[in-house]
C-alpha cells in the first residue's frame, strides 16, 4: 500500500528507510542521513511511503515536476532486508500512474552503484546526456537516465 507523506513526523520513517538502504555501500562510501534532509525534501517533492501487508514501512520514493511534462525521481530507497523482493518495481509502477502520459521522467544514479543503474535500465530508463532538453544538476558522482511515460 502506498501512502503520500505530508506529515513532518514521517521524516523519521524516511530517515530509517534511507539509513537501512544505504548499508549496501561500503562504510567509507556512505553517510547516514538525519531528519533535516527529509524535512527539506518533504517541502519540495512529492513523497510516498510503501507499506507491506504486515503494516511495516519498507520503502519510499520522491519525485518533482521540473518543467511542463518533465519530472525527476529524486529518491527511491528500499530497506535493506526487503531489497530484491519486487518493491522497487512496485514503486515505479505506482509512480508512473502519478505522472501524466507523454511525460519524461529523469533519474540520477550513483556511478559507484552499478546494481542501481542496472535496475533503472530494467525499468525502461535509457542513458542520456547532460545536454538533453532539460538541465538537471547531476554532479560528477552520478549519471542521468530518462524514460518516456506511456
Give pLDDT tens digits for 92-134: 999 999 999 999 999 988 777 788 889 999 999 998 876 555 6
How far, in Å, CA of 64 to CA of 78, rounded?
19
* Residues contacting residue 64 through CB under 8 Å, at least 6 positions apart: 44, 45, 46, 71, 72, 74
- Element housing 58 (H / E): strand 57-67
How far, in Å, CA of 96 to CA of 26, rounded?
31
Q: Which CATH number fits domain 2-148: 3.40.50.150, 1.20.990.10, 3.40.190.10, 3.40.630.30?
A: 3.40.630.30
Domain coordinates in residue numbering, the chain: 2-148
How far, in Å, CA of 70 to CA of 135, rounded?
11
pLDDT at position 14 = 84
What global pTM score does this model have? 0.83
Mean pLDDT, rounded, of the chain: 85
Closest C-alpha to 45, from 61, 28, 33: 61
* Residues contacting residue 6 through CB under 8 Å, at least 6 positions apart: 42, 47
How far, in Å, CA of 124 to CA of 8, rounded?
33
Amino acid at each position: 500500500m502506498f501512502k503520500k507523506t505530508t506529515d513532518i513526523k514521517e521524516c523519521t520513517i524516511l530517515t530509517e528507510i534511507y539509513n537501512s538502504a544505504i548499508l549496501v555501500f561500503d562504510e567509507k562510501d556512505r553517510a547516514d542521513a538525519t531528519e533535516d534532509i527529509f524535512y527539506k525534501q518533504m517541502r519540495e517533492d512529492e513523497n510516498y511511503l510503501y507499506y507491506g501487508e504486515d503494516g511495516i514501512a519498507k520503502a519510499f520514493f520522491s519525485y518533482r515536476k521540473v518543467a511542463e511534462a518533465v519530472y525527476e525521481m529524486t529518491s527511491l530507497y528500499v530497506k535493506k532486508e526487503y531489497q530484491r523482493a519486487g518493491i522497487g518495481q512496485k514503486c515505479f509502477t505506482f509512480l508512473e500512474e502519478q505522472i501524466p502520459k507523454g511525460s519524461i521522467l529523469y533519474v540520477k544514479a550513483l556511478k559507484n552503484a552499478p546494481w542501481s543503474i542496472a535496475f533503472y535500465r530494467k525499468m525502461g530508463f535509457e542513458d542520456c546526456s547532460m545536454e538533453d532538453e532539460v538541465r538537471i544538476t547531476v554532479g560528477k558522482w552520478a549519471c542521468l537516465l530518462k524514460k518516456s511515460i506511456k
